[in-house]
């Protein structure tokens, strides 16, 4: 498919007027607006503030990104400077990241979509003015950083914002009704619905990607796997742990957050190391094992880490619990 007639000149203008400070800020925004950044932030909200909000933010963001990546595969619009073959010179991102991004399509921007979905939902949920200002600033900063770095057109960002805001609005409007319906479904039926659905989306992405598992389809292993891990872990946490995220001092909250992130990173690293002993990277088996790895990551974040830090006295437990996505 021919590239969409988007404004490359504006992206080139930004590339010609970069400076070191702004480029560093834009790369920080690239990390903050990536899946890893949202996992860290959602885990922070989960561990120290509001479990239900953290779960809802994760679901809204993963839903928005899943739609975003499907649109990318359907539109198949190359990133700026790909057609010209100059992207390695024009993009202000690390070389390894550039190679990975070059295998993915441009429209809409996943960073803009994720930022709009995550922070717009946070804006609608929280009534604090400072949090709302930060949310709006994050949406704008993460979105604009993408054409500044040269990896997206401004049109990609506008479409991403529109998609993310739409998903957030739907989530805010129907979250309680969806949660009530979901909670009436048995735990194992929930897992039986989500786990195959995630793999099905990955398979559809592979087919749309010319039967290739590289590039865009990989994201679905992360989205579907992590969400499946959350679905498995959430009712278990409520019934067997049910910690109070607001309990303990700031120091202890910090310690349990660091413990949670440490266990998450250890899980991802250990399983990747083990799985690469079993099969080659990018094989079909490796992709399926990656799905398992992200399921484990979601499970560790939502259930195992709370189980550990409540056992060592870093959080008190609540007496009442519920199933599914509500506290």
pLDDT at 1: 61
pLDDT at 325: 44
Whether the per-residue pLDDT at 3 is higher than 80: the answer is no
Q: Is the overall model pTM greater than 0.85, yes or no?
A: yes
Residues 192/258, Cβ–Cβ less than 8 Å: no
State how far Cα 312 lies from the chain centre: 30
Whether the per-residue pLDDT at 42 is higher than 90: the answer is yes
Q: Sketch the domain layout of the chain as residue ranges.
A: 8-184, 186-327
Cα–Cα distance between 122 and 135 in angstroms, integer? 7
Cα–Cα distance between 244 and 261 in angstroms, integer? 18
| 281-321 pLDDT, tens digit each | 888 899 999 999 999 999 999 999 999 999 999 999 987 44
Q: Residue written as tokens 């997206």?
A: 152
Reported confidence tier of residue 322, pLDDT bands at 50, 70, 90: very low
Cα–Cα distance between 123 and 219 in angstroms, integer? 26
Reported confidence tier of residue 263, pLDDT bands at 50, 70, 90: very high
- Average pLDDT on 238-244 reads 95
Residues 196/152, Cβ–Cβ less than 8 Å: no
Longest dimension (CA), the chain: 62
Q: Tokens representing 257?
A: 């957050």
Say which CATH class 8-184 falls into. mainly alpha
Reported confidence tier of residue 327, pLDDT bands at 50, 70, 90: low
Whether the per-residue pLDDT at 183 is higher than 50: the answer is yes
| 153-162 pLDDT, tens digit each | 999 999 999 9
**Which range has the worst mean pLDDT, 170-179, 187-196, 223-232, 314-323?**
314-323
HSE at residue 172, side-chain half, CA atoms within 13 A, is 17
| 105-158 pLDDT, tens digit each | 999 999 999 999 999 999 999 999 999 999 999 999 999 999 999 999 999 999
Whether the per-residue pLDDT at 84 is higher than 80: the answer is yes
Q: Tokens representing 190?
A: 């929930």
Cα–Cα distance between 90 and 238 in angstroms, integer? 49
Reported confidence tier of residue 324, pLDDT bands at 50, 70, 90: very low
How is 160-224 classified by DSSP, letter by letter?
HHHHHHHHHHHHHHHHHHHHHHHHTS-HHHHHHHHHHHHHHHHHHHHHHTTS--SSTTHHHHHHH
Reported confidence tier of residue 217, pLDDT bands at 50, 70, 90: very high
CA-only gyration radius of the chain, Å: 20
């Amino acid at each position: 498919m021919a590239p969409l007639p988007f404004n490359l000149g504006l992206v080139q203008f930004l590339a010609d007027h970069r400076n070191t400070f702004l480029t560093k800020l834009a790369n920080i925004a690239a990390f903050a607006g990536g899946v890893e950044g949202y996992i860290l932030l959602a885990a922070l909200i989960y561990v120290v503030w509001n479990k239900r909000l953290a779960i809802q933010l994760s679901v809204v963001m993963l839903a928005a990104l899943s739609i975003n990546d499907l649109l990318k595969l359907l539109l198949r619009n190359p990133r700026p400077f790909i057609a010209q073959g100059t992207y390695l010179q024009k993009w202000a991102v690390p070389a390894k990241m550039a190679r990975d991004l070059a295998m993915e399509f441009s429209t809409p921007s996943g960073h803009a979509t994720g930022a709009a979905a995550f922070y717009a939902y946070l804006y609608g949920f929280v009534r604090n003015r400072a949090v709302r200002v930060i949310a709006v600033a994050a949406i704008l900063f993460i979105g604009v950083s993408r054409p500044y770095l040269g990896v997206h057109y401004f049109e990609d960002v506008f479409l991403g914002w529109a998609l993310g805001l739409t998903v957030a609005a739907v989530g805010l409007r129907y979250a309680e009704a969806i949660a009530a319906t979901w909670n009436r479904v048995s735990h194992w039926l929930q897992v039986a619905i989500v786990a195959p659905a995630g793999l099905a989306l990955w398979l559809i992405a592979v087919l749309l990607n010319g039967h290739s598992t590289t590039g865009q389809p990989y994201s679905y292993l992360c989205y579907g796997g992590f969400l499946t891990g959350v679905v498995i872990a959430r009712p278990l946490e409520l019934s067997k742990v049910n910690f109070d995220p607001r309990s303990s001092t700031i120091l202890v909250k910090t310690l349990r957050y660091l413990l949670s992130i440490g266990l998450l990173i250890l899980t991802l690293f250990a399983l990747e190391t083990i799985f690469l002993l079993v099969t080659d990277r990018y094989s079909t088996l490796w992709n399926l094992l990656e799905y398992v790895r992200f399921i484990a990551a979601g499970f560790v974040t939502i259930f195992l880490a709370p189980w550990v830090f409540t056992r060592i006295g870093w959080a008190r437990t609540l007496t009442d619990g519920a199933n599914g996505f509500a506290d």
